[in-house]
Structure 1
Amino acid sequence: MIRYRLLYAGITILVLVIIVLTFQFEKENQLKQSMKEEEDMIHNNDITETSSFTSQLKRRIDSVLDQEPDLQGAIAGISVRSAESGTLIYEQHGDIRLHPASNMKLLTGAAALSVLGPDYTMSTQLLIDGQIEAGTLNGDLYIKGKGDPTLTQQTFQKMALLLKEKGITHIEGNVVGDDTWYDDERLSRDLNWSDETYYYGAQISALTASPNTDYDAGSVIVGVKTGEAGETPTVSLMPETNYVQVKNTAITTESGNAEAELTVEREHGTNIIKVSGSLPTAANSVYEWISVWDPTQYALSLFQSALTEKGITVSGEISTHKTPDGAQLIHTHASMPLKDLLVPFMKLSNNTIGEMLIKEMGQLEHSEGHGKKACRFWRLSC
């Protein structure tokens, strides 16, 4: 699959490669001397420019910088220091003020582990405010999001099945989404306006959904498959949903030496996704991760579809507001623990997970899912 990432994600990968190399060399050093000797060496600042470790590390990093195509013509600032002593081990342009970009996820992940803990989970609750009689819920059903970025179509189907197993086949009321766990600031103020249509610029909500297990919450995957020359390419969605509308004006062209000139983007303020341009007959399928407008309604749409699929009918409407205090909790779905969630967050440079972790820390420390308050807490606690 073709997945376009921002250039700074490539820089992040480089930094992570350097970190892995550092661990690798430390392991090689351990084969030459005892653990105690190595700890003493680090503690006493005995890692010097002439050490075998430092020399090998320099050669490896320099090799990556020289051979990585994405870095040609760019400036990479690198500073490697001992975590114990702060001793400088390697540096290249370390004093140049470059935009840190996705490297900041290292700090976000570390802060989340410190504030939330490695076993912390985000939850999604199902609540009711009426009685269940003869298969009918005489009241509203609430789905309250509490910051879980890992909800997928399959998750909502499991929730619907659980309701069916509890004997609910009809809801004589509304299905209500509650996203008040976080504030209503959907987009970061630092976001480039041109990024808003793509997954890395997706809106943030306490109740949202992801298209697959990469957990790019608040987005859908648009697949474009080539056809016969002159025909319109086939467009697919993951998950399958009618929450977004696709307008496909693309055309399939003869192969030859032609390259794909395809554009997939969403109109701002709508859920209309436009597919335009051309795709050669011999081209591989193209996949784009596109953000949705209003992720809360997106999650509710998937939940409603799951209810219908499991044979649960709804008399009322699909709406959003705060869950009343007296609502009865009937089920809690927990995300994977934070220590596992950090894998897609860090490995895939997942922006939405990072934004949600910041709001989650604000909620835990200040009972308000606000990113600014979380950042203020970090500064005061450091």
Structure 2
Amino acid sequence: MLMKQQCLLKRAFLALVVALIALFPVTHEGTLSSVAASGDTTPVASIDSTTLDQKLQAILKDPKLQGGITGVSVRKADTGEKIYTSFGDIRLRPASNMKLLTGSTAMDILGPDYQFSTEVLTDGQVKGKMIHGNLYLKGKGDPTLMKKDLDQFAKDLKAKGIDKINGNLIADDSWYDDVRYSQDLNWSDEHNYVGAQVSALTLSPNEDYDAGTVIVEVNPGNKTGDLPKVTLTPETDSVVIVNNATTVAKGEAKSISIAREHGTNRIIIEGKMPLDGTRSQSWSAVWDPSMLAIDVFQKSLKAEGIEIVGNGGMKTGVTPSGATVLTSKKSMPLKELFIPFMKLSNNGHAETLVKEMGKVRSGEGSWDAGLVVMKEKLKQFGINTDTIVLRDGSGMSHKNLVSADELTSLLYNIQGKSWFPAFEASLPIAGVPERMIGGTLRNRMGDGLTAGNVKAKTGSITGVSTLSGYVTAKDGTELIFSVMINNYISGPVTPIEDAIAKVLAEYESN
């Protein structure tokens, strides 16, 4: 009987403990996100929550976080004091929050006024209207080079009286090494613009500057049974279009796929395009960006009446050291390039910056050299580099690791840098619809105190969503925050990030 009473007392005590835990949650330090059994897709926020800790803990009970891990770190921007952290010291995958590390180090190493360059050179002599020798198009990493720039090069040559080239047209991409993909890029991403090859000589199809890609546009044919019409921007013979699609009757469902065949420059188009169908458009990464550039340049020369004569053709090669520069172009300064880079989260820009940092600091335009330079600079920024793993510049790798506390530490420590205003201006701004201002946050947090207030970098790869940046609280306190959600499988989880940002925007310390 006594043992039975003791057992009942133990059960009653355990029930009381469970009830107390439910009423008074564990402190936020080092706790996992709580599990809820509801299928509700909106963030959980308790009406009764009053303190910052309680409000954020309530949000982190969202059922979509079950089985994953979420790192959150919040600091005061003026002192760097941490006012909230939950798994803030746990290394997590940053996705495109990696660009905060890449961008800050590039700003410091290269400088906000840094410009990339592209040159047109010859190893021969200009006699009369003819170049007797090869003509080189030498790229030095500019991801903003466009067809209009190659057209201008051709006009410059024409203005010099040149109308013939008795030699080869040579693409020189030797400014960087010949490794075109970062080490952990999935092969299934290679055809997509987010995984385009990184080359020192490359071309962008428009002013989003997705270098190494062409825009493929598919429109209906003239009648049922026709092949759909396909156009490329820029026009080029360096890729092969394989059109297996069909134009079908009005009202039928559209099902167009556009994908580059792995390891080739064959872009395969399949499916059905109804006569009344809207265009399908895709930014397709090419297999060899330098050959895309030289092919488009050859077309620009031809449009200006400049011919390649003799046995000359298009090749790749290295410009001799004594070659003569005939014309050249500098890119926009880095502070301007950062707008499409950070606002639109351009992966190619990030990887180019890694290679350029390696080239400038160590003379080697490679990921290996650039990542070493980045790590050294991050250490100077006060980051504990023993706790991070750098595998690329864009965050596409699932092997990158950094903690939320280190991200907020970085964002705190760089505020005093002379280039910081340009860096901050490049961050997406919540709820601002203009694409090059709101960026990847233009359709998020568009009301209340977050609109126009949250300035932060987004990040997303499979199972990962992140948001890190700056926000001004209701009481005027400037805050730095990082939210890193890893290993979620039911989404979207961006409403959780937005809810946290909303709490910070409404924060009043008194």
Give the shorter-chain TM-score range.
0.7 to 0.9
Q: Which residue of 2 aligns with 1:168?
A: 162
Structure 2 residue 97 is the aligned partner of structure 1 residue 103: yes
Q: State the partner residue of 1:361.
A: 357
Pick one of 335, 340, 343 that aligns with 1:347: 343
Correspondence 1:206 to 2:191: no
**Letter aligned with residue 142 of structure 1:** Y
Match of 1:275 in 2: 269
Distance (whole Å) between structure 2 residues aligned to residue 171 and residue 101 of structure 1: 47
Task: Decide whether the 8 Å contact of 2:125 with 2:133 is kept in 1.
Answer: yes
Q: What TM-score do the two structures reach when normalised by structure 2?
A: 0.59
Counterpart residue type for residue 353 of structure 2: L
Q: Which residue of 2 aligns with 1:38?
A: none
Match status 1:299 vs 2:293: yes
Q: Choose from 239, 260, 266 the match for 1:266.
A: 260
Amino acid at match of 1:264: I
Match of 1:312 in 2: 306
Residue identity opposite 1:114 in structure 2: D
Deviation at 1:172, TM superposition (A): 1.4
What's the offset of the Cα at 1:90? Answer: 5.6
Inter-partner Cα distance in structure 2 for 1:229 and 1:180? 48
Give the aligned residue type for 1:122: F
Larger radius of gyration: 2
| Structure 2 contact 130–163 (Cα < 8 Å) conserved | yes
Amino acid aligned to 2:234: P
Whole-Å separation in 2 of the counterparts to 1:289 and 1:158: 24
Corresponding residue of 1:121: 115
User: Per the alignment, in what secondary structure is the counterpart of residue 264 of structure 2?
Assistant: coil
Unaligned runs of 5+ in 1: 1-48
Distance 1:126 1:248, change over 3 A: same
Match status 1:371 vs 2:371: no
3-state secondary structure, aligned to 1:273: strand
Q: Distance in 2 between matches of 1:243 and 1:72?
A: 48
Residue by residue, what CA displacement relative to the aligned partner does 1:71-102 show, whole Å, maximum 9, x if unpaired?
A: 99997654332344333356676566542111
| 2:102–2:374 Cα contact (<8 Å) kept | no
Alpha-carbon distance, 1:187 to partner = 0.8
Q: Which amino acid aligns with 2:82?
A: L
Partner in structure 2 of residue 287 of structure 1? 281
Matches of residues 238-257 of structure 1 in structure 2 within 5 Å? 238-254=233-249, 256=251
Shift of residue 50, structure 1, vs aligned partner: 7.7
Q: CA deviation at 1:58?
A: 6.9
1:338 to 334, 337, 341: 334
273-282 or 168-177, larger mean C-alpha shift: 273-282
- 1:232 deviates by 2.8
Give 1:104 deviation, angstroms.
0.6
What is the rounded CA distance, in whole Å, between the counterparts of 2:241 and 2:201 in structure 1?
24
Are 1:81 and 2:75 counterparts?
yes
Of all paired residues, the percent bearing the same amino acid is 49
How far apart, in 1, do the equivalents of 2:157 and 2:86 lie? Answer: 58
- Asked whether the 8 Å contact 2:117–2:142 carries over to 1, the reply is yes
- Structure 1 residues 297 and 80 mapped into 2: Cα distance closer, same or farther (>3 Å)? same
2:242 aligns to what SS in structure 1? strand
Superposed CA deviations along residues 116-172 of structure 1, whole A, max 9, x for unmatched, are 000000000111222212111112211211000111111100000001111111111
CA contact (8 A) 2:153 2:328 kept: no
**For the residues of structure 1 that align with 2:190 and 2:154, how far apart are their CA atoms?**
31
Counterpart secondary structure, 1:157? helix
2:397 equivalent in structure 1: none
State the match for 1:43 in structure 2: none
Describe how 1:124-143 pairs up with structure 2 within 5 A. Answer: 124-143=118-137
CA contact (8 A) 2:182 2:367 kept: no
- CA-to-partner distance for each residue in 1:325-366, whole Å, 9 max, x for gaps? 111122221000000101111111111111111100000000
Q: What's the CA shift for 1:379?
A: 2.1
Aligned partner of 2:435 in structure 1 is none
Q: Hey, what's the Cα distance between the residues in 2 that align with 1:375 and 1:232?
A: 47
1:233 partner amino acid: P
Shifted more, 262-271 versus 85-94: the winner is 85-94
2:267 counterpart SS class = strand
Tell me the distance in 1 between the aligned counterparts of 2:238 and 2:314: 13
Separation in 1 of the partners of 2:65 and 2:207? 29
Select 1:197's aligned residue among 173, 177, 191.
Answer: 191
> RMSD over aligned Cα, in angstroms?
2.9
Whole-Å separation in 2 of the counterparts to 1:97 and 1:379: 16
Structure 2 distance, partners of 1:371, 1:216, is 19
Measure the CA separation in 1 of the matches of 2:84 and 2:211. 37
Give the TM-score normalised by the residue count of structure 1: 0.77
1:247 partner SS? strand
1:254 to 1:95, Cα distance in 2 relative to 1, 3 A: farther
Amino acid at match of 2:369: K
The equivalent of 2:42 in structure 1 is none
Q: CA deviation at 1:297?
A: 1.0
